[in-house]
Amino acid sequence: MTVQIPDAKKSWPHTINELTIGATAETGGTRASTVVVGGETTLPFYHFEGSMPNAPVVAMEVWDIPPEDWPEPLQAPFADVMSEPGTWAAACVERHGAQMICLRLKGCDPNGANRSPDEAAAAAKRVADAVGVPLIVWGCGNDDKDNEVFPVVAEAMSGENCLLGTITEDNYKTLTAVGTAYGHKLIAESPVDINMAKQVNILALDVEYPAENLVIYPSTGALGYGIEYVYSIMERLRIAGLKGDKVVAMPMLCDIGVEVWGVKEAKAPEAEVPGWGDVATRGPMWEASTAVVYLLAGADILIMRHPEAVRMTLETIRRLMGGGGTQ
């Protein structure tokens, strides 16, 4: 007797927004390439059911000042380039295949080096000059300072169609205005809270920043540190978007490296945690594992740090997109 397997395919009424980051000479920028994300008509990698026209992309993280607190396994691959953001960015692209660069303006933090907006803009220019891939520029996280820095950085990057972040429920007016004025896309951030994720998007729309230019950043938790909460939020956002909730039908971004390399599972040397294995292998594995979980949750952009984790993640994306073969 033949058992009839019911056809479980679903047809979703709405498509996730498709968004281009970066601009080549033809579109008024200086990038050698652009990145397109989003455009899904189904859940992640459900190729049997719908279309996922754009593969998720990996951005590698570069700072405007050399990071002092990065653990040794993370410093080692960049030891020769970290002193300068341009050379660091170039190494990420040329040696490790980064598809985007995320410049994090840590140096602007008023509780740290407290660099000026002009210094931040100069760092962004150096990165832009050094690489041809599209750029993400991420603020230092201090709202007041970011609101001073972004107008200057956004103007310096005018025409490059960068992705700037982040806007939050409490701080969105400056960055939405700057994004509109200089033609940049924006990252909408919320603290592991689906309701606030929706709210910040509505606030951006209310100041007439176009929904099509937003990327959702629902916060990120490392493997073992609340990853399942973020996963379920991303899954719910994506399902709502596919069902027709235009306010959440955006591509999603996960900030992997910063979370993973803050947890002991990724960075504690074996001497401190006997039996956990060599940190040089364990750290990148932890980062790649975290990244893959978020790919399955619907992430379109991953910001990562370790070259080996990036390699494993890019290979996983290739295979999930139907590339075949073995690692």
Partner 1 sequence: MILIGERINAGFKDIANAIRTKDPTAVEKWAVAQAEAGATYLDVNIGAASRDPADMAWLVETVQKAVPTKISVDSTKIEAIEAGLDAIDGRGVLVNSTTADPGKLEKIIPLAVKHEAMLLGLAMDERGSPQNVERRVENGAMVFMAATEAGIPPERIVLDPILMPIKFMQEQVPNVLEAIEQYTHLSDPPPHISVGLSNIGSKTAERGRIVRTFLVMAMARGLDAAILDVCDEETIAAVATAELMLNQEIYSDSYIRAFRIKAGGSA
Residues binding partner 1 (CB under 8 A): 194-196, 198-199, 202-203, 205-206, 236-237, 240, 244-248
Q: Helix or strand or coil: residue 148? A: helix
Question: Which residues does residue 254 pair with via DSSP β-bridges, in sequence order?
Answer: 302
For residues 109 and 245, which CB has a smaller minimum distance to partner 1 in the complex? 245
For residues 51 and 195, which CB has a smaller minimum distance to partner 1 in the complex? 195
Cα angle, residue 18 at apex, residues 141 and 24 outer, rounded to 5° = 80
Q: How far is the CB of 191 from partner 1 (least distance, A)?
A: 14
| CB 150, CB 174: distance < 8 Å | yes
Cα angle, residue 163 at apex, residues 254 and 146 outer, rounded to 5° = 90
Q: How far is the CB of 50 from partner 1 (least distance, A)?
A: 18
For residues 240 and 320, which CB has a smaller minimum distance to partner 1 in the complex? 240
For residues 75 and 199, which CB has a smaller minimum distance to partner 1 in the complex? 199
Which DSSP string corresponds to 224-291? TTTHHHHHHHHHHHHHHHHHT-GGG-S-EEEEHHHHHTTSHHHH--TTTSTTS--HHHHHHHHHHHHH
Query: Who contacts 322 (Cβ-Cβ below 8 Å, separation ≥6)?
Result: 47
Q: How far is the CB of 31 from partner 1 (least distance, A)?
A: 32
For residues 91 and 237, which CB has a smaller minimum distance to partner 1 in the complex? 237
Q: How far is the CB of 113 from partner 1 (least distance, A)?
A: 36
302 alpha-carbon distance from chain centroid: 4
Nearest to 124 by CA among 165, 89, 166, 80: 89
Q: How far is the CB of 269 from partner 1 (least distance, A)?
A: 43
d(CA 56, CA 317): 7
Q: How far is the CB of 247 from partner 1 (least distance, A)?
A: 5
For residues 87 and 199, which CB has a smaller minimum distance to partner 1 in the complex? 199
Q: How far is the CB of 196 from partner 1 (least distance, A)?
A: 7
For residues 13 and 325, which CB has a smaller minimum distance to partner 1 in the complex? 13
